[in-house]
Structure 1
Amino acid sequence: MGRQTRTRRATDQRQYAVEAEWTETDLALMAELKRAESRLPDDAPRALLSVRLSVLTDDTTSPVRQELDLRMLARERGYRVAGVASDLNVSATKVPPWKRKELGDWLNNRVPEFDVLLFWKLDRFVRRLADLSTMIDWCLRYGKNLVSKNDSIDLTTTAGKIMVTIIGGIAEIEAANTSTRVASLWAYTKTQSDWLVGKPAYGYETAQNEDGRVVLVIDRNAHRVLHWCRNAALRAKPASTRRMVKVLVRSGQCGPGLSVATLLRRLRNPATMGYRVEEDKNGGVRRSKIVLGSDAKPIQVADPIFTEEEFQSLQDALDRRGKNQPTRHPAGATKFLGVLICHDCGTNMVVHKTRVSGRFYAYLRCQKCRSGGLGAPNPEDVYSKLVEDVLRVLGDEQVMTREYRQGAEARKEQQRLEESISYYMTGLEPAGRFTTTRFAKEQAEKTLDALIKQLETIEPDSTKDRWVAVRNGKTFRARWQEGGMEAMADDLLRVGVKCKIERTKVKGVRAPHVRMKLMIPRDVRERLVLKEDNFTEAF
Structure 2
Amino acid sequence: MIVFFRMDRIVRRLLDLADLIRWCQAHSVTVVSATEQFLDLTMPFGDVIAMLVAKVAEMELAAISERNASAFRHNLRAGKWRGGIPPWGYLPQRDEAGTWRLVQDPEQVSIIREVVERVLSGEPLRSVAHDLTERKVLTPRDRFAQAQGREVRGYEWHSSGLKRALTSQTLLGYALTREPLRDAQGRIQRDTKGRKIFGPETVVLTDDNSPLVRAEPIITRGVFNRLGQELADRENRKEPTKRSKGLLLQVIYCGVCGRPAYRLKGGPGRKPRYRCSSAQYRENCGNKSIPLDYADDAVERSLLRVLGESERMERVWDAGSDHSAELAEVNDRLVDLTSLLGSGPYRAGTPQRQALDRQIASLAARQEELSAEAVRPAGWTWKPTGEKFADWWNRQDTTARNIWLRSMNIRLDFWCSAGANGRIEVERLNLDLGDLFKLTEQMVPKGRASDWAGVFAHMQDNDIAGIEVRDGEVHLIAKGD
With the length of structure 1 as denominator, give the TM-score of the two structures: 0.36
